[in-house]
């Protein structure tokens, strides 16, 4: 017969209280880490609960607290960029670190598949959300705002002004570091390819690229490509750049799937990577590592970024926090075959 004393029943908080010789309130406080409970009593209650196989009723907790103890990870990036092989990349790398950190604080993380509409959030019972690299008019942000749910963004949302909590992913620094690396490898006419949206990773990089190339006395060569077309968009943009500017000697493709397409465009134009054209990208994911040649990319310190996003969100859920920015370490260049020459040009 189960510990509850009822055939087929499950142990209740009353069973734990009776066995431990304490009140139901003490059991509740001990198991939830609240209230003033003697440490020895707290340990005895936890031990008894474990021996009886007691599990708290999450639905009942939700009704009592008015909290789901659940946060969401959402993005509006289309599947052509955030899906496919990238499911093992940026989005899932962030999700793994965020889920682990959220759980350590008693919260579950719901992973919302990347979609171009915020509608997937409608039926999710959450307390708040982390929105990954939102666009200027992001549908996920719009829906969270309409529901009155707090959120933080991984990467600054362009056009929101002050007050929206975000994790700084150092967009401008990424462009500058990649250009420094390309210059060291002899490049003097680099081109930039970004997505056509207004995500911070595009806007900040475009601005930094324009300024840095001007300071070096290089021409500003750039193109945008539609996110929804993935690798083919990168291929098309790079092909047109090489056609219009045949002396291009490097390509910074900020989306990894664009970079793979750019490599194909370089090869099909009769050039080689890296001897004729260097190719670099932003995210060090599976696409960068398995491309032929392997792609130089950036270590964005995503573990720290993801845990920082969880910390920011939980601070604002608790109320009273005025912190709006979590700063990650400066990114570092991970140089690979796509941008390394045996002898750099003078």
Three-state SS letters, 232-270? HHHHHHHHHHHHHCCCCCEEEECCHHHHHHHHHHHHHCC
Q: What is the pLDDT of residues 170-222, one digit of tens each?
A: 999 999 999 999 999 999 999 999 999 899 989 999 999 999 999 999 999 99
- What is the pLDDT at residue 323? 83
Q: How far apart are CA 316 and CA 224, in angstroms?
A: 36
Q: How far apart are CA 170 and CA 156, in angstroms?
A: 9
Q: How far apart are CA 233 and CA 221, in angstroms?
A: 17
Residue among 294, 285, 293, 326 nearest 98 (CA): 326
**CATH architecture group of domain 171-300+333-339:** 3-Layer(aba) Sandwich (3.40)
Report yes or no: 102 and 125 within 8 Å, Cβ to Cβ. no
Structure tokens at 226: 């539609």
Q: How many CB atoms lie within 10 A of CB 43?
A: 12
Averaged pLDDT score across all residues of the chain: 87
With a cut of 50, say whether residue 1 has pLDDT above it.
no
What is 13-56's CATH number, 3.90.1300.10, 3.40.190.10, 1.10.260.40, 3.40.50.720? 1.10.260.40
Ordered alpha helix ranges (H), 245-340: 256-268, 286-290, 302-318
Question: Where in the chain do CATH 1.10.260.40 domains reside?
Answer: 13-56
Domain 70-169+301-330 classification at class level = alpha beta
> What is the mean pLDDT of the segment spanning 48-66?
67
> What is the mean pLDDT of the segment spanning 69-82?
81
Q: How many CB atoms lie within 10 A of CB 262?
A: 34
- What is the pLDDT at residue 346? 45
Alpha carbon distances (Å) from 314 to 8, 35, 160, 296, 310: 38, 20, 21, 35, 6
- What is the pLDDT at residue 116? 57
Question: Where in the chain do CATH 3.40.50.2300 domains reside?
Answer: 70-169+301-330, 171-300+333-339
Its pTM surpasses 0.75? yes
Q: In terms of residues, how long is the chain? A: 346
Q: What is the pLDDT of residues 217-259, one digit of tens each?
A: 999 999 999 988 889 999 999 999 999 999 999 999 999 999 9
| Angle of CA points 311, 207, 81, to nearest 5° | 60
Q: What is the pLDDT of residues 302-340, one digit of tens each?
A: 999 999 999 999 998 888 677 889 999 999 999 999 999
Q: How far apart are CA 339 and CA 155, in angstroms?
A: 26
């Amino acid at each position: 017969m189960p510990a509850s004393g009822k055939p087929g029943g499950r142990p209740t908080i009353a069973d734990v209280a009776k066995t431990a010789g304490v009140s139901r309130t003490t059991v509740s406080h001990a198991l939830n880490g609240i209230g003033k409970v003697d440490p020895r009593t707290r340990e005895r209650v936890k031990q008894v609960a474990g021996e009886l196989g007691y599990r708290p009723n999450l639905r009942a907790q939700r009704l009592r607290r008015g909290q789901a103890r659940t946060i969401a990870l959402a993005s509006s990036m289309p599947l052509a960029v955030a899906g496919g092989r990238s499911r093992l990349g940026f989005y899932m790398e962030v999700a793994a670190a965020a889920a682990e950190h959220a759980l350590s604080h008693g919260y579950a993380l719901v992973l919302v598949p990347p979609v171009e509409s915020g509608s997937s959030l409608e039926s999710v019972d959450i307390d708040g959300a982390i929105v990954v690299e939102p666009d200027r008019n992001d549908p996920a942000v719009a829906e969270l705002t309409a529901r009155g749910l707090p959120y933080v963004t991984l990467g600054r949302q362009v056009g929101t002004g002050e007050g929206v909590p975000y994790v700084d992913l150092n967009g401008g620094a990424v462009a500058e570091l990649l250009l420094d690396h390309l210059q060291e490898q002899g490049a003097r006419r680099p081109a930039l390819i970004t997505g056509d949206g207004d995500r911070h990773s595009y806007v900040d990089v475009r601005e930094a690229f324009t300024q840095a190339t001007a300071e070096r006395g290089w021409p500003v060569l750039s193109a945008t490509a539609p996110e929804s077309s993935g690798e083919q968009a990168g291929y098309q943009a790079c092909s047109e750049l090489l056609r219009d500017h045949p002396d291009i000697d490097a390509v910074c493709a900020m989306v990894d799937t664009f970079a793979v397409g750019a490599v194909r465009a370089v090869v099909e134009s009769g050039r080689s990577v890296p001897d004729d054209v260097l190719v670099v990208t932003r995210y060090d994911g599976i696409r960068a590592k398995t491309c032929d040649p392997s792609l130089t990319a950036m270590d964005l310190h995503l573990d720290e970024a993801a845990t920082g996003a969880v910390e920011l969100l939980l601070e604002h859920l608790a109320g009273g926090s005025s912190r709006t920015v979590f700063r990650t370490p400066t990114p570092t260049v991970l140089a690979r075959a796509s941008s390394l020459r045996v002898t750099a040009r003078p």
